[in-house]
Amino acid sequence: MKIATWNVNSLNMRLERLLEWLRANQPDVACLQETKLEDAKFPAAAFGEAGYQVVFNGQKSYNGVAILARNKLALTDVRHGIAGYDDEQKRAIAATVDGTRIVCLYVPNGQAPGTDKYAYKLDWCRATAAHLREALASHPQLVVAGDFNVAPDDRDVHDPQLWAGQIHCSEPEREAFRAFLAVGLADSFRLFDQPPNTFSWWDYRMLAFPKNRGLRIDHILLSPTVASRCVSCRIDRNARKGQKPSDHAPVVVELAE
């Protein structure tokens, strides 16, 4: 089973690129973030033609998440948002696909330490970690994929000195990320030897991508039973190239049967 996550930065703008990527990479499940589409405008038919069923939780202009799963797979128990956390922003959706619980997250950006948005980010992460603890208890086969907007450690930052204490790299954010792991989840990327300076996001400005000045902020976390089946995790840097890319690249894990 192949599972991907990708912040598409507007599904409207990225639909053709995404469909092409699905054709080329053939994931069984894909988690999307920043669809920026209200549910009535979600292009479900286009994905149906491409062989995927879709569930989504969106809003106009901002945020928005979705899970795609191959038509042949059983998709059940769809849940929108974080249980017990009242949130106007559409940042979470979960579903069970072929017996594996898939949670798709778009963690708040946080703007800058000390701001209201930063406080919201940390609060959101606290609530979500508690939710994941319950999810793992009832779903031993758990995959949590998305844009976490946190670079877990300095290996995940092109210039750690430049980013020290900045948004995505501050210690409270890294603590929040470790709290996700403390639930009993593994960062799939670090289950394997990886090339240094592998990132999942590059600023559109200042030639950041050609200079590989990026951050690794998109992650796929796995419960122990799923981690034991995981045979690879890679970031598809090629998807950041060319005309009209998202500023994020997809992360992909492969699981043995």
Partner DNA sequence: ATGGCAATGTTTCATTGA
Active site members: 106, 147
CA–CA distance, 15 with 106 (Å, rounded to integer): 19
- Encoded tokens for 143: 């995959």
Q: Is 196 or 257 the residue whose CB approaches DNA more closely? A: 196
Q: Is 8 or 227 the residue whose CB approaches DNA more closely? A: 8
Count of alpha carbons within 13 angstroms of residue 14, beta-carbon side: 25
- Total number of residues binding DNA (CB under 7 A)? 36
Q: Is 192 a residue that touches DNA (CB under 7 A)? A: no
Write the interaction track for DNA spanning residues 40-79; mark x where CB under 7 A is met and - where it is not.
--------------------xxx-----------------
Q: Is 7 a residue that touches DNA (CB under 7 A)? A: yes
Q: Which of residues 105-124 bind DNA (CB under 7 A)?
A: 108-109, 111, 117
Cβ contact 65:93 at 8 Å: yes
Q: Is 196 a residue that touches DNA (CB under 7 A)? A: no
- Encoded tokens for 17: 């690129």
Q: Is 28 a residue that touches DNA (CB under 7 A)? A: no
Q: Which of residues 169-188 bind DNA (CB under 7 A)?
A: none
Residues 6 or more apart whose CB falls under 8 angstroms from that of 34 comprise: 7, 8, 9, 10, 62, 63, 64, 106, 147
Strand order in 251-255's β-sheet?
A: 52-57, 65-70, 29-33, 2-7, 251-255, 230-235
State in angstroms the smallest separation of the CB of 101 from DNA. 24
- Which of 66, 75, 102, 167 lies at the binding interface for DNA (CB under 7 A)? 167
Q: What is residue 124's DSSP assignment? A: H
Q: Is 215 a residue that touches DNA (CB under 7 A)? A: yes
Crossing angle of helices 171-182 and 116-138, in 10° steps, is 10
How open is the CA angle 164-168-169, to the nearest 5 degrees?
Answer: 30
Write the interaction track for DNA spanning residues 235-254; mark x where CB under 7 A is met and - where it is not.
---x--xx-xx-xx------
State the residues that interact with DNA by CB under 7 A.
7, 9-10, 12-13, 34, 36, 60-62, 108-109, 111, 117, 147, 149, 167-168, 201, 203-207, 209-211, 215, 217, 238, 241-242, 244-245, 247-248
